[in-house]
Structure 1
Amino acid sequence: MVPHPPASHHILAAGLKSCRTQTAKAFYATVRGHADTPPVELDEPPPSGHNDLILSILRANPSLRDSKSYLASFGPRPQQNPKTPLVPQEVQNTQPGVAIPGPEAKPDRVEEPPKPSPIVASILNPVIRRTALVKVQGPFNDVQLDSIARGLVFLEKLGLVTVIVVENDNLSRGDDNDRTEIIEETMRVVSMLEKHGAKARPILGSIVRLGPKPNDDASLRDPTIRLPEAHTIPSDLMTLRSALRAGEIPVIPPFALDSFCRSVRIDANDAIAALARGMVEAGTMNPTGFTSDEGYPASSEDVDLTPLRLMIINREGGVPSYARSGYPHLLINLTSESSHIEETFHKQWRESHPTALSNLALARTCLSYMPPSSSAIMVSHRSPSSLIGNLITNKPALSSSLPHALLQGNRKLTPHTPTLLRRGLDIRVVRTLDQVDRKKLNVLLEQSFQRTLDQEAFYSRLETNLDFVIVAGDYAGAAIVTNERCPNTGASISYLDKFAVLPNHQGDGTVDFLWVALHDESYGLGHPSAVNPNGGKEGKGEGRDLVWRSRANNPVNKWYFERSTGHLRIGSWVLFWCDAEKRLKTEQGRRGSTGVSYIEHWEQGRLSLWTDVIMKVPSVWK
C-alpha cells in the first residue's frame, strides 16, 4: 500500500494547477499562419531578489504532473506510520505543542502570524537536496557572471546544489599562465556566488585523473559515445562530498592528475564527464549518509551525489537547427538525433556556435551515465531564469511537437532559447505487420489505455488497413496509422488509430519524440524538419492530412488541441486533424498577400467525409 503524500503536496499541486488556468488555451479551428520572424528578445533583466525567485517559479508554469515530479525528487519522503500513541482522539487531532483546555476553560484568542503562500513555502523548503553538474563556459563580464551566479543561488534555494566546473574559451591550454588565469576565473565565480549569499568552496586541487579509467571494457559501451579522457576513483570525491555536506557550492577548475602526479589543465568536457561518471558510481556503490533500506538521504543535511541535471551555460545558447532557420533545437533525442544533427550542422554555425557539437557530445556522454530521468540543458547567459523553469518542469521552453506555425510566431522562440537534451530512445518505422512484436505492443496498449485489447479484432483490421507503425525504444511508445478507405471514391484517409506511451515513460520526452516522428511520416512530409533518419521516408514525399478521434472527456485532449490544426465536436467524441503542411505552404505562396479564404476548395466536404468514415471505425476494446 502506497502512503498518502503530505498535505503540502496537494496544496502545491492545486496551487500550481490554478496558476495554469490563467494561461491562454489553444482551442482553435485551423492554423493559417503567423509572423515569419519572431522578435529577438534582449537580455533578461537581472533578478532583484526573493520576489524574483517567486516570479521565476510562477513563470515556469508547471503542470500538475510537473509539480508532482518536482516534489517526488525534492519533497518529503513517505514515512512509516509510528505506533499509535495512547492519547485521546480529541488530542490526536490537534496540532502538536498546543495545550488542550479542559471542558470548563475558555482559550484566549491569539492572533496567528500571517502564513506564507503554501506554493512558495513548499518549493522554497525542499527536504531533499540533489546535485547538478554545471559548466560555466566563459568568458563572461562581471554583469553576465553576476546574473549567472544569482540564477545558480536560486537553484540552491530550490534544492538543487550545483557542482561547477569553470571554463574560459579565450584561455588556450598549454600557455604559460593558463593555470593562473583559470584559477582567477574560478575565484571570480566563487566571489559572485558569495556576493549573493551562497557559501562556495573553490576546490583547486585535482579531483579527476588523466586518462581512461583502468580496466574499463570499452566493448560494453556504445561506440558512438565518446569516452572521457579522465576518470575518478571514490576517494577523489571526498573533498567534493565534504563541501556539499557543509552546504557549500563546489567550484572546480578543469585540472587533472597525470601519471607523474602533476596537476595539469585538461578539457573541461573531460573533467565534467569524469565527474558525472564518478558521482553516479559513488552514489550507487557507497551511498554514505543514505539509509540502507530506502536509498534516500536520511535528512535534509545529506545530498544525493548522483547528478540530476547537466547544465551548460555559455554565450552561444542552444544547438542551432536547420529546421528552424538557425534558431535552437528545443528538445533533442540524443539516441536517435545526434548523428543527424552533426551531419546537418551548417558551416556558418561553426563560427557562431563553435562549441555546440562538442557540448552535444558532452551531454550524450554524461547522460549515458546519469539516471534515465536526468536531462541536460544548453542555455545562454541571457536566459538564467530558464534554469529554474527547467528544474521544476524538466521540459523545454516550448514543446518541439507543437505545430511549426505556432512555434514560428511564438515570442519564446529566440536565438537564446535553451536546448533541452534527453538520453531518449531509438525511433523506427515499420510498415508491415510481421515486423511488429505483437506481445510487446499488446502490453503497451493495455497499460497505456488501462483496457483489455480484443487482439483478434485489432490485428484483423491491421492486416488490411495498416499504413505504418512508429515504435519508440523497446515498445515504450508507439503510433499506429492506418489507411481508411472512403466509399465510392477510391481515396483513403490517413487515420491515427492508436497513440500510446507506457506510463513510466510519460514525462521523459518520449511523447514529444514520438509525435515529432509521426509528423515526419504523415502531415509533415516535404517540410524541411521532416528530414530525419528514423527509418521512414526521411522527408521524401507529399504530406497527407492526419485525422484521429478522441473521447470528449479524455484528459489528453488539451494536448491534442495544441497540436492539431482543427477539431470538430461530434456528440461524445472530438474529431481532430492536422493539415498537410506542404500544401498549406503552397497555398500561402500562391495567394501571397491576398490572404487565404476561410474555406479552400480542397477543404469543402472533407469534414463530412471524415466524420462518415472515421466515426464508423469499430472499437477494438473488450
Structure 2
Amino acid sequence: MLSHTVLHGPRILSPVAASALKARRTQTFRAFYATIRSLRQPPPTVEVDDLDPPDNDFILSLLKANPSLRDTKSYLANFGVRPPVPEHAAVFPSTILNDSTPTFPKAAPDKSDKQPEQVKPGPSPILSSILNPVYRRTALVKLQGPFTNKQLDSIARGMVYLEKLGLVSVIVVENDQVRGDDGERSALIEEIMRVVSALEAQGAEARPVLGTVVRLGPNPDDDQLREPRDFIPPEAHVFPSDLVAIRSALRAGEIPVLPPFALDSFCRSVRIDANDVLGALARGMVEAAALDDNDMNLSPRDPHADYFPDINLVPLRLMIISREGGVPSYARTGFPHLLINLTSEYDYIRNTYDPSWSKEKHSSLSNLSLARTCLAYMPPTSSAVMVSHRSPSSLIANLITNKPAVSSSLPHALLQGNRKLTRDTPTLLRRGLPIQVIRSPADVDKAKMNYLLETSFKRTLDADAFYKRLEQTLDFVVVAGDYVGAAIVTNEPSSDSSEPISYLDKFAVLPSHQGDGTVDFLWVALHDESYGLGHPFSINPNGGKEGKGEGRDLVWRSRDDNPINKWYFERSSGHMRMGSWVFFWCDAEKRLRVEEGRRANAGLSYIEEWEENRLSQWADIIPKIPSVWK
C-alpha cells in the first residue's frame, strides 16, 4: 500500500488542535509585544550587591568599553611600553642635527685588524612585554562610604581591574557615618583595614598608610601664585619629602590606602576633610614628578634613589566613588550629568542646583568642587569621574576611552530614552575650556580663525571672500578656548522670502584637541544656541541667548567621503544625499515636540507635509553656497 504526502495542500485541523494553535499564536503575539515594549522602557535597576560577578567579568568590562581607534592610540600613548633610552646615547644640539653640512660616507672598517665584537644578549621582547606589560600611571581615588562588605568587594574588584591595565590607585578613605564621633579615629583606621582586606581578597597587594602625609594649612608658596579669583586652594599641602610612604608602596607594587589625617602646626595628627587631602596630593604629586624629571635630566640617576622609573606620579585620573554617583542635571530630569566642562559650567551648575537633590546627594557640590581643585593641578588631558558603587566596571571604560558613558552632544530625544542612562550613570568632568558666543564679524580674531580652519581642514582659506560673506550672512560664532574650536552659523536667504535658513557653515576643532571633550563641548553650545532654543536645559551662560527664543532648524552639508559623517549621522535628525554631498539637519526641538504632542500616539511620519517645502528649499539653496577654499 502506497502512502501519498501532500506538501502544499490545505490542512484541516480538529477543533481541539485549532483551539491549541490559536492559544499558541496568542501567546507568541503577547511575547513579541512584550519584547517590543521592553525596548522602549529602561531595564529595571539591579543592585550590584545582589549579583555575583562572572568569571570573565574583567574581559566583559574590556569589551563593553568598545574603544575607537583614537581611544586605543590614546591609551597606548599613556600606558604602552616605553622604549628604553640608551645610557650612553650621544646627545647633539638641534643646531647640529639641522645643519645643512653634507654627510660623507664612512670608510669601510678593516676587518683583519679588529676582533669580533661581543654581542650582549638582551631580554626577549615577548618576555619583556609579559613581565612589564604597561607603563604604570597613578590615579587619586576618593572612597566615600559607608559601604557594606559586598559593595566594598565590588569596588575593590574595579581597583584591581584598573591596576591590571596600568592605573595604580592612591586611595583616600572617607566615612561620612563616623564624622564627629568619639571613636572617630579608631573607626577610620578600622575602615582603612577593611579596604585593604577587600583589595587583598581580590588579589591585589595593598598597604595601609596610617601616618600623616599631608600638612594642615595652605602651601607657603601660594602667595607667589596667581590663582583665579574664585579658585580656593585646598586647606592642606604636601612637600615632595612627605610622599616617601606613598612612593614606597608604589615601588613595592602595593596600593596605598590613606585616612584623611593631617599634621597641624603642633605636630598633631588631626582629621580633616578628605577633599583637602586629595587636593593636596594632586598638587604635591605633580610637583614631585616635575622634580623627578629635572633630577633625571640634569644628573645621572642614582639606582638607590627614591625614584621608580616605570611609575608616573602625576595623577592621570581622579575617581570619586560613593553611594551617590554623579551630579544631577535638569536636562536629565535629575539623572546625572554626562560630561561637565568645569571652566564654563561650574558656576552655572552650582547656582542652579535644585535644593531637593541635596536630600539624596548631599555631597554632589562638594565633590564637584573637589574635581575642579584637583584638575587645576593635573595635566589638561586628565579627567575626573564621579561614579556610584553600583557601576565599578564603568571605570574601565573611562580609563580606556576617557569619554562619558553616552555622548552629551547626542540629540536630547535619544538621551532621554537611552538604556545606558540611569541614576548610577557616571559623570565625567574635565577642566575644559571657556565657551563664548560672538555675534559680530568684527569681534572675530581673523588670524586665529584662519589658523584653526586651515589646520582642521588641511586646506588654504580664501580669507577675503570668506569674511566678506560673513559680513553679510553671519548669525553667530561659538568659540571654544583660544580658538581651538569654532562653530560658524550663517543666515542664508530662502527662496520664498520667509525665515532665513540657519546654516552651519563651519565646524572645526584643532587636531590636538580632538578626543579631549572639546568637540562635545562645542556641539552642546551650538545646540543651546540654535535648534535647542526654548528648552529650560538650553540656558547657555556664555554670552548667548541663554535659552530664550524659538529654536530653528539647523542644516549643513558634508562631502560624502568625509570620515566625520558617522558622527554627524548620530547627531542629526535626518539626512539627504545629493550627488557628492550629504545634507544633514537638526529639527528645532521645541517645534518638533509640539508636533508630536499634537499627534498624540499617532507619531510622526517619515516626511511630514510641512517638511516637504523646506527640503526642496534646502536642496535648492545650500548647493549654491560658494566654496571659500583656494
Partner amino acid, structure 1, of 2:46? L
Tell me if the contact between 1:40 and 1:415 (Cα under 8 Å) persists in the aligned partners.
no
In structure 1, the partner of 2:150 is 143
**1:407-422 residue pairs with structure 2 within 5 A?**
407-422=415-430
Q: Deviations over 1:200-226 (max 9, x none)?
A: 010000000001111312761012222
8 Å CA contact 2:81, 2:129 repeated in 1 = no
1:238 aligns with 2:244: yes
Could you tell me how far 1:491 is from its partner in structure 2? 3.0
Query: What is the rounded CA distance, in whole Å, between the counterparts of 1:377 and 1:476 in structure 2?
Result: 24
Alpha-carbon spacing, 1:436–1:97, altered in 2? closer, same or farther (3 Å): closer
Counterpart CA distance in 2 for 1:238 and 1:61 is 38
Query: Does 1:284 find its partner at 2:300?
Result: no
Equivalent residues in 2 for 1:82-93, closer than 5 Å: none
Counterparts of 1:332 and 1:369 in 2: how far apart (Å)? 17
The answer for the alignment partner of 1:41 in structure 2 is: 45
2:70 to 65, 68, 71: 65
Letter in 2 for 1:74: F
Shift of 1:437: 0.4
Secondary structure of 1:362's aligned partner: helix
TM-score, reference length from structure 1: 0.85
For 1:245-324, list aligned pairs within 5 A.
245-287=251-293, 302-324=310-332
Identity %: 68
The equivalent position to 1:202 in structure 2, one of 201, 208, 213, is: 208
Match of 2:164 in 1: 157
Q: 1:294 and 1:305 mapped to 2: Cα distance?
A: 20
Question: Cα offset for 1:440?
Answer: 0.5
> Kindly tell me: are residues 210 and 407 of structure 1, through their superposed partners in 2, closer, same or farther at Cα, counting changes over 3 Å?
same
The 1:317/1:613 distance shift into structure 2, 3 A limit, reads: same
SS of residue in 1 equivalent to 2:279: helix
Residues 128 and 300 in structure 1, CA contact (< 8 A), matched pair in contact too: no
Contact persistence 1:39–1:414 (CA under 8 A): no
**In terms of mean alpha carbon deviation, does 410-419 or 590-599 score higher?**
590-599
Change (3 A) 1:459 1:167: same
2:135 alignment counterpart: 128
User: 1:78, CA displacement in angstroms?
Assistant: 4.9
Deviations 1:399-429 (A, max 9, x none): 0000111111111000000000000001010
Do residues 334 (structure 1) and 337 (structure 2) align? no
User: Are 1:276 and 1:307, in contact at CA under 8 Å, matched by a contact in 2?
Assistant: yes
Provide the residue aligned with 1:502 in structure 2. 510
Q: What is the distance in 1 between the residues matched to 2:578 and 2:266?
A: 76
* 2:462/2:628 contact within 8 Å kept: yes
1:486 aligns with one of 466, 472, 494? 494
**Could you give the per-residue CA deviations for residues 112-140 of structure 1, whole angstroms, max 9, x where no partner exists?**
xxx99xxxx98996431000000000000
Deviation at 1:592, TM superposition (A): 1.3
8 Å CA contact retained: 1:433, 1:462: yes
Asked if 1 retains the 8 angstrom alpha-carbon contact of 2:502 and 2:554, the reply is: yes
Could you say if the C-alpha distance between residues 443 and 593 of structure 1 is closer, same or farther in structure 2, counting changes exceeding 3 Å?
A: same
Shift, 1:595, TM fit: 2.5
Residues 293 and 539 of structure 1, relative CA distance in 2, 3 Å threshold = farther
Q: Pick closer, same or farther for the CA change 1:289–1:241 going to 2, 3 Å.
A: farther
Distance 2:328 2:131 in 1: 34
Deviation at 1:590, TM superposition (A): 1.4
Instruction: Map residues 396-435 of structure 1 onto 2, 5 A cutoff.
Output: 396-435=404-443
Residue 198 of structure 2 corresponds to residue 192 of structure 1: yes
Residue of structure 1 in register with 2:58 after alignment: 53
Kept in 2, the 8 Å contact 1:289–1:302? The answer is no
* Per-residue deviation, 1:570: 1.1
What amino acid is the match of 1:139?
Answer: P
Q: CA deviation at 1:39?
A: 3.7
CA–CA distance in structure 1, aligned partners of residues 428 and 196 of structure 2: 27
**Match in the other structure for 1:436:** 444
* Matched AA of 1:267: D
8 Å Cα contact 1:327/1:415 also seen in 2:
yes
Name the residue aligned to 2:95: none
Q: How far 1:41 moved relative to its partner? A: 2.5
Q: Distance in 2 between matches of 1:602 and 1:522?
A: 20
Conserved 8 A contact 2:495-2:617: no
SS of 2:576's partner is strand
2:359 to 351, 360, 365: 351
SS in 2 for 1:272: helix
Equivalent in the alignment of 1:30? none
CA deviation profile, 1:150-205 (whole Å, cap 9, x unmatched): 110110000000000000111113x3210100010001000000111111010000
Distance 1:552 1:598, change over 3 A: closer
Contact 2:529–2:540 (8 Å) recurs in 1: no
Q: Give the equivalent residue in structure 2 for 1:453.
A: 461
Contact 1:245 1:301 in 2 (8 A): no
Q: State the distance in 1 between where 2:265 and 2:504 align.
A: 59
Residues 37, 408 of structure 1: 8 Å contact kept: no
Between 283-292 and 213-222, report the one with greater CA deviation: 283-292
- Pairing 1:227–2:233 present: yes
**Partners of 1:207 and 1:232 within 8 A in 2:** yes
Distance 1:46 1:276, change over 3 A: farther
Which is bigger in relative contact order (C-alpha 8 A, separation at least 6)? 1
CA distance in 2, matches of 1:498, 1:512: 15
Residue 574 (structure 2) aligned to one of 562, 566, 578? 566
Q: Distance in 1 between matches of 2:275 and 2:393?
A: 24
2:516 is paired with a residue of what secondary structure?
Answer: coil
SS in 2 for 1:547: strand
For residues 12-51 of structure 1, the aligned pairs below 5 Å read: 38-44=42-48, 45-49=51-55, 51=56
Residues 134, 165 of structure 2: 8 Å contact kept: no
Gap change, CA 1:145 and 1:560, over 3 Å in 2: same
- CA–CA distance in 2 between the matches of 1:584 and 1:361? 37
The aligned amino acid for 2:390 is: R
In 1, Cα distance between equivalents of 2:537 and 2:528: 7
Deviation of 1:489 after TM superposition, in Å, equals: 2.2
For each residue in 1:25-82, what CA deviation from the matched residue of structure 2 results, as whole angstroms up to 9, or x when unmatched? xxxxxxxxx9886344213444344x22111111000000000000000002356799
Structure-2 change in CA distance of 1:293 and 1:443 (3 Å): farther
Query: What's 1:8 paired with?
Result: none
Separation of aligned partners in 2, 1:257 and 1:400: 42
The aligned amino acid for 1:153 is: V
The Cα RMSD (Å) is 2.8
How far residue 236 of structure 1 moved from its aligned partner, in angstroms, is: 0.4
Alpha-carbon separation, structure 1, partners of 2:412 and 2:133 = 38
* Cα separation, partners in 2 of 1:307 and 1:229, compared to 1, 3 Å: same
Which of 140, 154, 168 is 2:175 aligned to? 168
The answer to whether the Cα contact below 8 Å between 1:134 and 1:313 also exists between their aligned partners in 2 is: yes
Q: Are 1:203 and 1:252, in contact at CA under 8 Å, matched by a contact in 2? A: yes
Cα distance change on mapping 1:123 and 1:367 into 2, 3 Å? farther
Which consecutive unaligned segments of at least 5 residues does structure 2 have? 1-37, 91-108, 112-120
Q: Is the 8 A contact 1:312 1:379 kept in 2?
A: yes
Which of 574, 577, 594 aligns to 2:602? It is 594
